[in-house]
Amino acid sequence: MPENAGYMIAAYIVAAVVYLIYGGSLITRGLRALRRDGEG
Amino acid sequence: MKPTISSSRGIMKWGIAITVLGLVAMAGVYLLALGYTPLEARQGAAQKIFYVHVPAAWSAMVAFTLVGLVSILYLWLRDERLDAFAASSAEVGLVFSVIMLTTGPIWGKPIWGTWWTWDARLTLTLILFLLFVGYMTLRSAVHDPAERARFAAVLGIMGMVLVPFIHLSVYLFRTLHPMPIVLKPSSPSLPPEMLRTLLLGFLATTVLYVGFVVLRYGLARYAMARLDEES
């Protein structure tokens, strides 16, 4: 493993988790709103 | 113009599509950063944190600048759509700031030997983050929509004023933070593999910013339209 790889992995995981949690929650809320009013 | 459910639905659909595109682009940045960019000789793998940290910082600054500009327009035009956009951009800016303020110290620990130092760039960035936490808190504390929008607009403009100082802080003060390597008067000083990956990072976080804001704005308009319909 290259030097300081643990720090890089930690930073990449933090960023991915934040993007996925925030993006995922927005997408879920959007899809729920779209479904609530139907496609018509 | 009053928001309608059908126009909000269109905005949300666009927001979902752009957000998914942004997440895919970000996955591409991860792959390039891990498999394509060379290992930097002195910093080792910690240097690769730069491909997630710098683009997140860029999008945070874009988000807060747009909050300020749109807030000026709101105070002039008093259009509630501008207030909804400013609130969306502030929230998304905070998300990018969280990434900037966590990945930065993770890089700082192996390179500077400390998680945090009170230098000008870091301190000003933290103040900007706290100012927008205050902005969101203010929004949830004031119930009258017009009053909330007016107060928030003033705070949003004050936040925007900090952004150029943060960018120029590395020139204005003695600071540990690295100097700009792309957004500077001379041409970027990076090997091509690193530069391409960084530019894709900028593109990915910009697309993510647009997707997040469009979707968040669509949700706000949808909530307003439903409220109007029910009353």
The ipTM of this complex is 0.92
User: How far apart are the C-alpha atoms of B123 and B43, rounded to whole Å?
Assistant: 24
Residue B225 makes CB contacts below 8 A (sequence gap 6+) with B2, B3, B4, B5, B7, B8
Q: Which of A18, A22, A37 lies at the smallest CB-CB distance from B9? A: A37
To the nearest whole angstrom, how far is the Cα of A27 from the nearest Cα of chain B?
A: 6
CA distances to B5, B31, B97, B192, B224 from B84, in Å? 15, 35, 20, 40, 10
Query: Does the beta-carbon distance from A30 to B103 stay under 8 Å?
Result: no
Calculate the CA B6 to chain-centre distance: 28
| Tens digit of pLDDT at every position of chain A (40 positions) | 788 899 999 999 999 999 999 999 999 999 999 998 765 4
CB B69 within 8 A of CB B90: no
The answer to whether A13 contacts chain B (CB < 8 Å) is no
pTM of the predicted model as reported, rounded to 2 decimal places: 0.94
Query: Does the beta-carbon distance from A2 to B53 stay under 8 Å?
Result: no
Cβ pairs bridging A and B (under 8 Å): 94
Query: Does the beta-carbon distance from A4 to B43 stay under 8 Å?
Result: yes
Q: What is the pLDDT of residues B36-90, one digit of tens each?
A: 999 888 899 999 999 999 999 999 999 999 999 999 999 999 999 999 999 999 9
